[in-house]
Amino acid sequence: MFSFFRKEKPGDFLAFLKEGNDAFGPGPSYTQAKPPIEASGGGIEVQEAIGGLPPELEEAAVLYANGKIGETATLLNRYILDHHDNRDPLPWYMLFDLYELSDQSAPFEDAAVDFAVKFERSPPTWTPRDRPKSVTPPPPLMSYGEKFGSLERVKQNRFFQEAAHAPYVRLDVSKTLAPDEETASAILKDIVRLHEMRKPVELIGGPGFAVRLDAARQGDRLTESGWFLLLAVLQLLGKEDDFENAAVDYAVAFEVSPPSYTQPRPLPSKNNSVMESPASPTPDTAFKLSGQIGPGSEAQFNELKKYARGRQQVEIDLSQVIRIDFSVVGLLLETLINISSSGGKILFKEGNELVNTLLHIVGASQFAVVLGRTRA
């Protein structure tokens, strides 16, 4: 990290404002989810994953996408308790899938008893999916909004507790505009602290954030902390030439020596968290995604695009997908747009309800039909 991060900064950080923001705002409005369809020949049902989700269920899907297993279970259980008259089984199926995917058989069985009493029908059976033998937990994630307020301060404490034991961390600045002094100082302080902890940093939305910061610089709207943040972001992105140009401009503006560039710490291999080489599908089978779809999953998306070439119907089997990390949503949508623009009609099937809900929240259902898993 460049040397001026070591010097004392003038002034204290401003007091954090109490904003009262929710962790996740309500998502788009959908029509109410359809009830399960009983097959005429027995106990098999296929549920169509659509519709008018309450914001609590959308929040649960986002929490799960960020690897927050305990928080997701707590939210779903609380929703079920608070809506005891609700006859929609979707929150129950989300909870069952969560327990299966996280190997929690005891709470699954407890929920199954409650489900049978409430709905007067047989509950889903325990059918854990095959998964990679070695799955690493997702890296800690710190997300920033337009301002740095009380919500970010609460998340910050938990983030650094988790970061202490993680091989690398993620900072999400995709929703951060050109920041004011307080916000720039807070983000910069986090980056410096991570540097001192010797933690590699994956910067989600970093290129766009750098563009916004640079536009503010050219418009003479950056404070000194904003300048430092721009340089730190360019360094984390490995953009040495852009860093050097901005460093010279900083030196001229503040009449100091320009800071020097150092290479960012490399991110560790993420191959343990995903299954990188999906089996090549035969012409008559669906394409299978598998494992935890997260950073490092580009190979699976590339294989999917190859599979989709020349096909009018593209079926994607999600039965072996444990989780889709929120950080790869953009790559997923880019892949779907690519396939759809080439004339392919896309169908997702057999995904767990947490993944299906995420697909709807992020707009994947604009390009694909999303069907829920078949349950015995």
Contact 323, 353 (CB under 8 A): no
CA–CA distance, 214 with 306 (Å, rounded to integer):
37
CA–CA distance, 101 with 69 (Å, rounded to integer):
10
**pLDDT-based confidence at residue 124 (cuts at 50, 70, 90):** confident
**What one-letter code names the amino acid at 371?**
L
Percent of the chain with pLDDT over 90: 46
The CATH classification number of 271-375 equals 3.30.750.24
Q: What contacts 28, CB < 8 A, 6 or more positions away?
A: 360, 361, 363
> Which of 120-129, 154-163, 315-324 bottoms out in mean pLDDT, i.e. has the lowest?
120-129
By three-state DSSP, how is residue 338 classified?
helix
Angle between helices 206-218 and 224-236 in degrees, nearest 10: 150
Confidence at residue 231, expressed as pLDDT on a 0 to 100 scale: 94
Confidence at residue 137, expressed as pLDDT on a 0 to 100 scale: 66
pLDDT at 347 over 70: yes
At 12-39, the pLDDT tens digits run: 322 322 233 333 333 333 333 333 344 4
pLDDT at 138 over 80: no
**pLDDT-based confidence at residue 130 (cuts at 50, 70, 90):** low
339 burial class (0-12, 13-18, 19+ CB within 10 angstroms)?
A: buried
E-strand spans in the chain? 45-48, 141-143, 169-172, 201-204, 287-293, 313-324, 345-351, 368-375
Confidence at residue 218, expressed as pLDDT on a 0 to 100 scale: 87
pLDDT at 55 over 80: yes
pLDDT at 44 over 60: no
pLDDT at 46 over 70: no
Query: What's the whole-number mean pLDDT along residues 340-348?
Result: 90
Average pLDDT value for the chain = 80
Query: What's the whole-number mean pLDDT along residues 293-322?
Result: 89
* C-alpha dist (Å) from residue 365 to 28, 270, 331: 12, 28, 15
**pLDDT-based confidence at residue 279 (cuts at 50, 70, 90):** very low
**In terms of pLDDT, which residue wins out, 147 or 111?**
111
What are 25's two structure tokens?
Answer: 């705002």
CA–CA distance, 114 with 92 (Å, rounded to integer):
10
Of 157, 224, 233, nearest to 11 by C-alpha is 224
Bridge-based pairing state of the strands 45-48 and 141-143: unpaired
Of 228, 216, 213, nearest to 259 by C-alpha is 228
Enter the DSSP assignment of 103: T
pLDDT at 112 over 50: yes
**pLDDT-based confidence at residue 2 (cuts at 50, 70, 90):** low
- Spell out the domain ranges in the chain: 54-119, 137-254, 271-375
Find the radius of gyration of the CA atoms of the chain. 23
What are 375's two structure tokens?
Answer: 């349950």
Confidence at residue 22, expressed as pLDDT on a 0 to 100 scale: 33
At 310-334, the pLDDT tens digits run: 889 999 999 999 999 988 999 999 9
pLDDT at 284 over 80: no
What are 348's two structure tokens?
Answer: 């997702």
pLDDT at 376 over 80: no
Task: Name the range with the highest mean pLDDT among 75-79, 123-127, 128-132.
Answer: 75-79
Confidence at residue 297, expressed as pLDDT on a 0 to 100 scale: 79
CA–CA distance, 173 with 271 (Å, rounded to integer):
24
**What one-letter code names the amino acid at 151?**
L
